[in-house]
Protein backbone atom coordinates (compact mmCIF):
# COMPACT_ATOMS: atom_id res chain seq x y z
CA UNK A 1 0.00 0.00 0.00
CA UNK A 2 1.21 3.55 -0.77
CA UNK A 3 2.01 5.53 2.38
CA UNK A 4 1.15 9.28 2.37
CA UNK A 5 4.91 10.09 2.44
CA UNK A 6 5.53 8.20 -0.79
CA UNK A 7 2.36 9.35 -2.57
CA UNK A 8 3.92 11.70 -5.14
CA UNK A 9 1.55 11.85 -8.12
CA UNK A 10 3.04 15.18 -9.25
CA UNK A 11 6.68 14.02 -9.28
CA UNK A 12 8.33 15.34 -12.43
CA UNK A 13 5.71 18.07 -12.84
CA UNK A 14 6.33 21.79 -12.41
CA UNK A 15 3.91 24.22 -10.76
CA UNK A 16 3.98 28.00 -10.79
CA UNK A 17 1.98 29.60 -7.98
CA UNK A 18 1.58 33.37 -8.18
CA UNK A 19 1.40 35.28 -4.90
CA UNK A 20 2.97 32.42 -2.98
CA UNK A 21 5.09 34.30 -0.43
CA UNK A 22 2.19 34.39 2.04
CA UNK A 23 -1.36 33.33 2.72
CA UNK A 24 -3.29 30.92 0.53
CA UNK A 25 -0.72 30.86 -2.31
CA UNK A 26 2.03 29.73 0.04
CA UNK A 27 -0.13 26.85 1.29
CA UNK A 28 -1.08 25.86 -2.28
CA UNK A 29 2.62 25.78 -3.24
CA UNK A 30 3.38 23.62 -0.20
CA UNK A 31 0.52 21.23 -0.99
CA UNK A 32 1.67 20.74 -4.60
CA UNK A 33 5.25 20.26 -3.40
CA UNK A 34 4.10 17.67 -0.86
CA UNK A 35 2.60 15.78 -3.80
CA UNK A 36 5.99 15.87 -5.55
CA UNK A 37 5.85 18.89 -7.87
CA UNK A 38 8.80 21.21 -8.36
CA UNK A 39 7.71 24.74 -7.59
CA UNK A 40 8.15 28.29 -8.85
CA UNK A 41 6.99 30.86 -6.31
CA UNK A 42 6.06 34.30 -7.54
CA UNK A 43 5.57 37.28 -5.25
CA UNK A 44 5.65 41.08 -5.35
CA UNK A 45 7.73 42.80 -2.63
CA UNK A 46 7.96 40.57 0.41
CA UNK A 47 11.41 39.03 -0.15
CA UNK A 48 11.85 37.76 3.41
CA UNK A 49 8.58 35.80 3.43
CA UNK A 50 9.25 34.49 -0.07
CA UNK A 51 12.65 33.20 1.04
CA UNK A 52 11.05 31.39 3.98
CA UNK A 53 8.40 29.90 1.68
CA UNK A 54 11.12 28.68 -0.66
CA UNK A 55 13.08 27.07 2.19
CA UNK A 56 9.90 25.41 3.48
CA UNK A 57 9.32 23.88 0.04
CA UNK A 58 12.91 22.80 -0.49
CA UNK A 59 12.73 20.90 2.81
CA UNK A 60 10.03 18.76 1.16
CA UNK A 61 12.70 17.45 -1.22
CA UNK A 62 11.65 19.22 -4.41
CA UNK A 63 13.25 22.04 -6.40
CA UNK A 64 11.96 25.57 -5.85
CA UNK A 65 12.74 28.96 -7.36
CA UNK A 66 11.31 32.30 -6.28
CA UNK A 67 10.74 35.17 -8.67
CA UNK A 68 9.69 38.68 -7.66
CA UNK A 69 7.46 40.15 -10.38
CA UNK A 70 4.68 42.73 -10.38
CA UNK A 71 2.20 40.83 -12.49
CA UNK A 72 0.31 43.88 -13.68
CA UNK A 73 3.34 44.59 -15.88
CA UNK A 74 3.53 42.46 -19.06
CA UNK A 75 7.34 42.67 -19.10
CA UNK A 76 7.47 41.30 -15.54
CA UNK A 77 5.16 38.43 -16.48
CA UNK A 78 7.53 37.57 -19.33
CA UNK A 79 10.49 37.74 -16.90
CA UNK A 80 8.66 35.31 -14.60
CA UNK A 81 7.92 32.82 -17.39
CA UNK A 82 11.49 33.08 -18.69
CA UNK A 83 12.75 32.18 -15.21
CA UNK A 84 10.47 29.12 -15.15
CA UNK A 85 11.60 28.09 -18.64
CA UNK A 86 15.30 28.60 -17.83
CA UNK A 87 15.10 26.54 -14.62
CA UNK A 88 12.67 23.78 -15.54
CA UNK A 89 12.13 23.94 -19.32
CA UNK A 90 8.41 23.29 -18.87
CA UNK A 91 5.30 24.14 -16.88
CA UNK A 92 2.49 21.79 -15.92
CA UNK A 93 0.37 23.74 -13.43
CA UNK A 94 -0.25 27.49 -13.40
CA UNK A 95 -2.06 28.66 -10.28
CA UNK A 96 -3.22 32.26 -10.68
CA UNK A 97 -3.53 33.14 -7.01
CA UNK A 98 -1.93 36.60 -6.55
CA UNK A 99 -4.42 39.35 -5.86
CA UNK A 100 -4.64 42.83 -4.48
CA UNK A 101 -7.38 45.40 -4.12
CA UNK A 102 -8.63 48.63 -2.63
CA UNK A 103 -11.30 47.91 -0.07
CA UNK A 104 -13.85 50.68 -0.45
CA UNK A 105 -17.46 51.07 -1.57
CA UNK A 106 -17.82 51.62 -5.33
CA UNK A 107 -18.61 55.32 -5.02
CA UNK A 108 -15.43 55.93 -3.04
CA UNK A 109 -13.14 54.17 -5.49
CA UNK A 110 -10.88 56.24 -7.72
CA UNK A 111 -9.88 55.29 -11.24
CA UNK A 112 -6.36 54.38 -10.11
CA UNK A 113 -7.83 51.93 -7.52
CA UNK A 114 -9.96 50.29 -10.21
CA UNK A 115 -6.99 49.95 -12.58
CA UNK A 116 -4.70 48.61 -9.83
CA UNK A 117 -7.17 45.92 -8.78
CA UNK A 118 -8.31 44.83 -12.24
CA UNK A 119 -4.75 44.80 -13.60
CA UNK A 120 -3.46 42.50 -10.86
CA UNK A 121 -6.53 40.30 -10.37
CA UNK A 122 -7.81 39.94 -13.93
CA UNK A 123 -5.35 41.17 -16.53
CA UNK A 124 -2.42 39.35 -14.90
CA UNK A 125 -4.06 35.89 -14.89
CA UNK A 126 -4.86 36.38 -18.58
CA UNK A 127 -1.28 37.47 -19.35
CA UNK A 128 0.17 34.65 -17.24
CA UNK A 129 -2.00 32.11 -19.04
CA UNK A 130 -0.94 33.44 -22.46
CA UNK A 131 2.73 33.30 -21.53
CA UNK A 132 2.44 29.91 -19.79
CA UNK A 133 0.74 27.99 -22.59
CA UNK A 134 3.88 27.66 -24.78
CA UNK A 135 5.56 25.90 -21.83
CA UNK A 136 2.68 23.50 -21.28
CA UNK A 137 1.85 20.20 -22.93
CA UNK A 138 -1.07 17.76 -22.82
CA UNK A 139 -2.25 17.42 -19.21
CA UNK A 140 -1.45 21.04 -18.34
CA UNK A 141 -3.64 22.78 -15.78
CA UNK A 142 -4.59 26.39 -15.07
CA UNK A 143 -6.39 27.05 -11.78
CA UNK A 144 -7.60 30.57 -11.01
CA UNK A 145 -8.34 31.54 -7.41
CA UNK A 146 -11.61 33.39 -7.06
CA UNK A 147 -13.90 34.34 -4.22
CA UNK A 148 -17.60 34.39 -3.34
CA UNK A 149 -17.57 38.14 -4.06
CA UNK A 150 -17.62 37.30 -7.79
CA UNK A 151 -21.31 36.54 -7.55
CA UNK A 152 -22.36 38.05 -4.21
CA UNK A 153 -22.14 41.57 -2.82
CA UNK A 154 -19.95 42.20 0.24
CA UNK A 155 -19.17 45.58 1.86
CA UNK A 156 -15.99 47.30 0.60
CA UNK A 157 -15.40 44.55 -1.96
CA UNK A 158 -16.57 46.28 -5.16
CA UNK A 159 -13.28 46.39 -7.07
CA UNK A 160 -12.17 42.89 -6.06
CA UNK A 161 -15.64 41.40 -6.61
CA UNK A 162 -15.73 42.79 -10.15
CA UNK A 163 -12.21 41.53 -10.83
CA UNK A 164 -13.14 38.04 -9.63
CA UNK A 165 -16.34 37.97 -11.72
CA UNK A 166 -14.22 38.75 -14.77
CA UNK A 167 -11.68 36.12 -13.72
CA UNK A 168 -14.43 33.49 -13.60
CA UNK A 169 -15.56 34.52 -17.11
CA UNK A 170 -11.94 34.30 -18.28
CA UNK A 171 -11.81 30.80 -16.79
CA UNK A 172 -14.67 29.67 -19.05
CA UNK A 173 -13.27 31.30 -22.21
CA UNK A 174 -9.76 29.93 -21.70
CA UNK A 175 -11.15 26.49 -20.84
CA UNK A 176 -12.73 26.26 -24.28
CA UNK A 177 -9.73 27.76 -26.10
CA UNK A 178 -7.17 25.51 -24.41
CA UNK A 179 -9.17 22.26 -24.48
CA UNK A 180 -7.74 21.20 -27.89
CA UNK A 181 -4.24 21.36 -26.33
CA UNK A 182 -5.28 19.06 -23.47
CA UNK A 183 -4.92 21.91 -20.97
CA UNK A 184 -7.80 22.39 -18.52
CA UNK A 185 -8.76 25.71 -16.95
CA UNK A 186 -10.86 25.92 -13.79
CA UNK A 187 -11.30 28.11 -10.74
CA UNK A 188 -11.49 27.53 -7.00
CA UNK A 189 -13.69 30.04 -5.21
CA UNK A 190 -13.14 30.41 -1.50
CA UNK A 191 -15.08 31.78 1.44
CA UNK A 192 -13.25 33.83 4.11
CA UNK A 193 -9.80 32.58 5.12
CA UNK A 194 -7.78 34.35 7.82
CA UNK A 195 -4.82 35.81 5.91
CA UNK A 196 -3.08 39.20 5.76
CA UNK A 197 -5.60 40.21 3.07
CA UNK A 198 -8.38 40.36 5.64
CA UNK A 199 -6.44 42.79 7.87
CA UNK A 200 -7.07 45.54 5.30
CA UNK A 201 -10.86 45.42 5.63
CA UNK A 202 -12.33 47.96 8.06
CA UNK A 203 -15.11 45.39 8.71
CA UNK A 204 -12.78 42.41 9.25
CA UNK A 205 -14.24 41.34 12.62
CA UNK A 206 -17.79 41.36 11.18
CA UNK A 207 -16.57 39.26 8.24
CA UNK A 208 -15.10 36.58 10.48
CA UNK A 209 -18.10 36.59 12.83
CA UNK A 210 -20.39 36.21 9.84
CA UNK A 211 -18.24 33.36 8.46
CA UNK A 212 -18.53 31.57 11.81
CA UNK A 213 -22.27 32.04 12.15
CA UNK A 214 -23.13 31.31 8.51
CA UNK A 215 -20.93 28.29 7.87
CA UNK A 216 -22.96 25.18 8.59
CA UNK A 217 -20.96 23.39 11.27
CA UNK A 218 -19.44 26.68 12.42
CA UNK A 219 -15.89 25.76 11.46
CA UNK A 220 -13.75 28.41 9.71
CA UNK A 221 -12.34 27.63 6.29
CA UNK A 222 -8.54 27.23 6.05
CA UNK A 223 -6.02 27.80 3.27
CA UNK A 224 -5.39 24.03 3.34
CA UNK A 225 -9.02 23.42 2.33
CA UNK A 226 -8.50 25.55 -0.79
CA UNK A 227 -5.09 24.02 -1.51
CA UNK A 228 -6.52 20.50 -1.54
CA UNK A 229 -9.18 21.57 -4.05
CA UNK A 230 -6.46 23.07 -6.26
CA UNK A 231 -4.46 19.84 -6.06
CA UNK A 232 -7.56 17.87 -7.07
CA UNK A 233 -8.10 20.09 -10.14
CA UNK A 234 -4.44 19.53 -11.07
CA UNK A 235 -4.80 15.76 -10.80
CA UNK A 236 -5.41 13.35 -13.67
CA UNK A 237 -8.79 12.59 -12.07
CA UNK A 238 -9.96 16.11 -12.96
CA UNK A 239 -9.07 15.87 -16.68
CA UNK A 240 -12.67 16.25 -17.84
CA UNK A 241 -13.54 19.16 -15.52
CA UNK A 242 -13.34 22.28 -17.67
CA UNK A 243 -14.30 25.89 -17.09
CA UNK A 244 -15.86 25.22 -13.70
CA UNK A 245 -15.79 27.22 -10.50
CA UNK A 246 -15.37 24.86 -7.55
CA UNK A 247 -16.76 26.59 -4.46
CA UNK A 248 -14.89 25.69 -1.28
CA UNK A 249 -16.56 27.58 1.55
CA UNK A 250 -17.76 24.98 4.04
CA UNK A 251 -21.28 25.64 2.75
CA UNK A 252 -21.34 29.30 3.82
CA UNK A 253 -22.76 30.56 0.51
CA UNK A 254 -25.74 28.25 0.93
CA UNK A 255 -26.88 30.27 3.91
CA UNK A 256 -26.08 33.84 2.78
N1 LIG B 1 -8.30 35.53 2.31
C2 LIG B 1 -9.53 35.24 1.94
O3 LIG B 1 -10.48 35.28 2.73
C4 LIG B 1 -9.79 34.83 0.51
C5 LIG B 1 -11.04 34.26 0.23
C6 LIG B 1 -11.31 33.82 -1.08
C7 LIG B 1 -10.36 33.97 -2.06
N8 LIG B 1 -9.17 34.55 -1.77
C9 LIG B 1 -8.21 34.70 -2.86
O10 LIG B 1 -7.07 33.91 -2.56
C11 LIG B 1 -5.92 34.51 -3.15
C12 LIG B 1 -4.85 34.72 -2.09
O13 LIG B 1 -5.38 35.56 -1.08
P14 LIG B 1 -4.63 35.77 0.30
O15 LIG B 1 -5.69 36.13 1.28
O16 LIG B 1 -3.74 34.62 0.57
O17 LIG B 1 -3.76 37.08 -0.05
P18 LIG B 1 -2.53 37.75 0.75
O19 LIG B 1 -2.34 37.09 2.06
O20 LIG B 1 -2.80 39.22 0.71
O21 LIG B 1 -1.26 37.41 -0.19
C22 LIG B 1 -1.21 37.99 -1.45
C23 LIG B 1 -0.07 37.39 -2.24
O24 LIG B 1 -0.12 37.96 -3.57
C25 LIG B 1 1.13 38.61 -3.83
N26 LIG B 1 0.89 39.77 -4.69
C27 LIG B 1 0.13 40.86 -4.42
N28 LIG B 1 0.18 41.71 -5.45
C29 LIG B 1 0.98 41.17 -6.38
C30 LIG B 1 1.46 41.58 -7.65
N31 LIG B 1 1.11 42.77 -8.17
N32 LIG B 1 2.28 40.76 -8.33
C33 LIG B 1 2.66 39.57 -7.81
N34 LIG B 1 2.26 39.12 -6.61
C35 LIG B 1 1.43 39.92 -5.90
C36 LIG B 1 1.71 38.95 -2.48
O37 LIG B 1 3.12 39.12 -2.58
P38 LIG B 1 3.97 39.97 -1.46
O39 LIG B 1 4.01 39.07 -0.23
O40 LIG B 1 5.30 40.17 -2.07
O41 LIG B 1 3.21 41.22 -1.20
C42 LIG B 1 1.28 37.72 -1.68
O43 LIG B 1 2.14 36.65 -1.95
C44 LIG B 1 -6.40 35.80 -3.81
O45 LIG B 1 -6.69 35.56 -5.16
C46 LIG B 1 -7.67 36.10 -3.04
O47 LIG B 1 -8.57 36.93 -3.76
C48 LIG B 1 -8.85 34.97 -0.49
pLDDT at position 6 is: 86
**If you take atom 13 of ligand 1, which residue's CA is the nearest one?**
24
Ligand 1 pocket test, pick from 24, 143, 200 with the greatest ligand atom count within 8 Å of Cβ, gives: 24
How far apart are the CA of 28 and the centre of ligand 1, in A?
12
How far apart are the CA of 1 and the centre of ligand 1, in A?
38
Partner residues linked to 93 by β-bridges: 15, 141
Kindly state the helix (H) or strand (E) to which residue 190 belongs, with its residue range.
strand 184-190
- Are 41 and 34 spatial neighbours (Cβ–Cβ below 8 Å)? no
- Are 11 and 91 spatial neighbours (Cβ–Cβ below 8 Å)? no
Radius of gyration of the chain (CA): 17
**If you take atom 36 of ligand 1, which residue's CA is the nearest one?**
19
pLDDT in tens for each of the 256 residues of the chain?
A: 556 678 999 999 999 999 999 999 999 999 999 999 999 999 999 999 999 999 999 999 999 999 999 999 999 999 999 999 999 999 999 999 999 999 999 999 999 999 999 999 999 999 999 999 999 999 999 999 999 999 999 999 999 999 999 999 999 999 999 999 999 999 999 999 999 998 888 888 888 898 999 999 989 999 999 999 999 999 999 999 999 999 999 999 999 8
Ligand 1 pocket test, pick from 30, 156, 197, 203 with the greatest ligand atom count within 8 Å of Cβ, gives: 197
- Cα 51 to Cα 156: distance, rounded to the nearest angstrom: 32
- Cα 184 to Cα 238: distance, rounded to the nearest angstrom: 9
pTM score, whole prediction: 0.98
Domains of the chain: 10-245 (3.40.50.720)
| Phi, psi dihedrals of residue 16, rounded to the nearest 5° | -110, 120
- Are 210 and 227 spatial neighbours (Cβ–Cβ below 8 Å)? no
Contacts of 75 (CB under 8 A, 6+ apart): none
How far apart are the CA of 33 and the centre of ligand 1, in A?
19
Q: HEC states along the chain?
A: CCCHHHCCCCCCCEEEECCCCCHHHHHHHHHHHHCCCEEEEEECCCHHHHHHHHHHHHCCCCCEEEEECCCCCHHHHHHHHHHHHHHHCCCCEEEECCCCCCCCCHHHCCHHHHHHHHHHHHHHHHHHHHHHHHHCCCCCEEEEEEEHHHCCCCCCCHHHHHHHHHHHHHHHHHHHHHHHHCCEEEEEEECCCCCHHHHCCCCHHHHHHHHHHHCCCCCCCCHHHHHHHHHHHHCHHHCCCCCCEEEECCCHHHCC
Report the atom number in ligand 1 closest to the C-alpha of 198.
1
Amino acid sequence: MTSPESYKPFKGRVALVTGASRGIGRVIARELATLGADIAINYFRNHAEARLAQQEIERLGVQCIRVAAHLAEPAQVRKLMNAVRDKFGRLDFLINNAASGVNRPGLELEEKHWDWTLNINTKAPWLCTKEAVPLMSEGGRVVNISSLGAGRVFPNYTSVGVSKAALEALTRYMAVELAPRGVTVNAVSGGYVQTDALQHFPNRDDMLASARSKTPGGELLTAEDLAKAVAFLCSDAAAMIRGQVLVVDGGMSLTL
